[in-house]
Amino acid sequence: MSGALAGIKVVDLSRVLAGPWASQLLADLGADVVKVERPGCGDDTRQWAPPSLPDGKAAYFLCTNRGKRSLTVDISQSAGQEIIRKLAAEADVLLENYKVGGLKKHGLDYATLAKLNPRLVYCSITGFGQDGPYANLAGYDYIVQGMSGLMSITGPADGEPHKVGVAVSDLFTGLYAANAIQAALLAREKSGAGQHIDMALFDCSLAMLANVGSNWLVGQTVPPRLGNAHANIVPYQVFAATDGYFILACGNDKQFAEVCRLIGQPQWARDSRYATNPQRVAHRAQLVPLLAQSFRRQSRDSWLDALDKAGVPCGPINNVDEAFADPQAQARGMQLALEDNVGQEVPLVGCPIKLSGTPVEYNLAPPALGEHTEQILRTLGYGESDIVALRNSGTV
């Protein structure tokens, strides 16, 4: 491999989404990732289907396990624990998402493994972190979206709170974790020592409230649920045309003046209630219905064309099929296919990172359960008789 993280060895003891999302990104960047799975069943997401490929690999599993080698190990057995210790002794990174203290009983916690390998970067991902009153609670994306305030600002203003359509608390935690791991690897270059990284879905979900969280800290007003509208910018939302919906993202007063010109109401841009963005936010209830009435007079594409020519940010609302078919998605290589161990083409979403000197390389399709077990065990010094014994005992 020649990627940015070529030569970095990662032991991935995580499952489902946040941890595997982080390790897939590391694999895309060139790291050698060994995915440790339970014998017989593996990562839970292998069974999260339909849809799935003809050989049974679930689409959910495929989305987050590209570029990894699969090793099956029962870590409840002493022989399995020894395999993980051998891997950790040679690894740069270990990633896990067990409950707090869950790996200590197996001798696979950070304090124990750091004695074997002081350079090890050990990343723990949990729902609520390694300390605090909720540390021992299980963490699920859906629940964290609710507890963090994210659902309170998502969904129609007059309806029930909504979760986001994908598991964003998991995904953002995975991205934060990948950043933290790389920061720890850089720090190790200076200090020579690894460290323990403590990542929590709850923390990351609070952090990603971004301007909404800041709005509360500064204004001390609980943010309302605004549907498709924006808390700080008007007009910045979905509008209906004669034949569908489109997004208008009017970010400054000049753009608003162009919108007023296009809909035949240039005087609105000079109206003291609407001339500046703070005033438009204050008078949202009066302005938005007026704009909505104007936009219902023409087709979606006619508005998009006119707004685009006027330099006003706007866009269609695509379904997933339309998004992948978009020429921009095609040009950016956001869809690919890799051949797996049985020769079938596995369709995958591409990595969005574009590096000029060390580009992302796609070397391995998502693995079959235990596909690389014997290969990995041999590199750790296990002979054929050892491997047979491990299999007979159910360790691998």
Task: Indicate if 170 belongs to the active site.
Answer: yes
Whether 238 has a pLDDT exceeding 80, the answer reads yes
pLDDT of residue 263 exceeding 70: yes
DSSP 224: P
Other CB atoms closer than 10 Å to residue 263's CB: what's the count?
18
Tell which of 264, 287, 317 closes a domain.
317
164 and 74 in a common domain: yes
CB atoms within 10 A of CB 277: 18
What is the pairing mode between strands 93-96 and 121-126? parallel
At residue 68, the 3 state secondary structure works out as: strand
Contacts of 49 (CB under 8 A, 6+ apart): 56, 58, 59, 60
Is the predicted pLDDT of residue 114 greater than 70, yes or no? yes
Domain of residue 198, CATH code: 3.40.50.10540
CATH code for the domain in which residue 280 is found: 3.30.1540.10
- Domain shared by 338 and 359, yes or no: yes
- Distance CA(247)–CA(237), nearest Å, equals 6
Q: What is the pLDDT of residues 12-64, one digit of tens each?
A: 999 999 999 999 999 999 999 999 999 999 999 999 999 999 988 999 999 99
Predicted confidence (pLDDT) at residue 100 exceeds the cutoff of 70: yes
Q: From CA 44, how far away is CA 109, in angstroms rounded?
A: 22
Per-residue model confidence as pLDDT tens digits over 271-309: 999 999 999 999 999 999 999 999 999 999 999 999 999
Distance from the first to the final alpha carbon of the chain: 27
Task: Tell me how far apart the alpha carbons of residues 54 and 284 are, in angstroms, rounded to a whole number.
Answer: 52
Same domain? 187 vs 308: no
Q: What is the mean pLDDT of the chain?
A: 96
Q: Residues 162-176: what's their mean pLDDT? A: 97
Average pLDDT over residues 342-353: 95
Measuring CA to CA, how many Å separate 389 from each of 36, 79, 111, 236? Answer: 19, 10, 30, 64
Domain closes at, from 287, 317, 347: 317
Structural domains in the chain (count) = 2
Tell me, yes or no, whether 341 lies in a domain. Answer: yes
Give residue 80's domain range.
Answer: 9-209+327-393
- Asked whether residue 197 falls in the same domain as residue 245, the answer is no
> Among the options 170, 253, 321, 340, which is catalytic?
170
DSSP H helix total and E strand total for the chain: 16, 11
Residue 223, domain member (yes or no): no
Q: 169 and 250: one domain?
A: no
Domain shared by 27 and 163, yes or no: yes
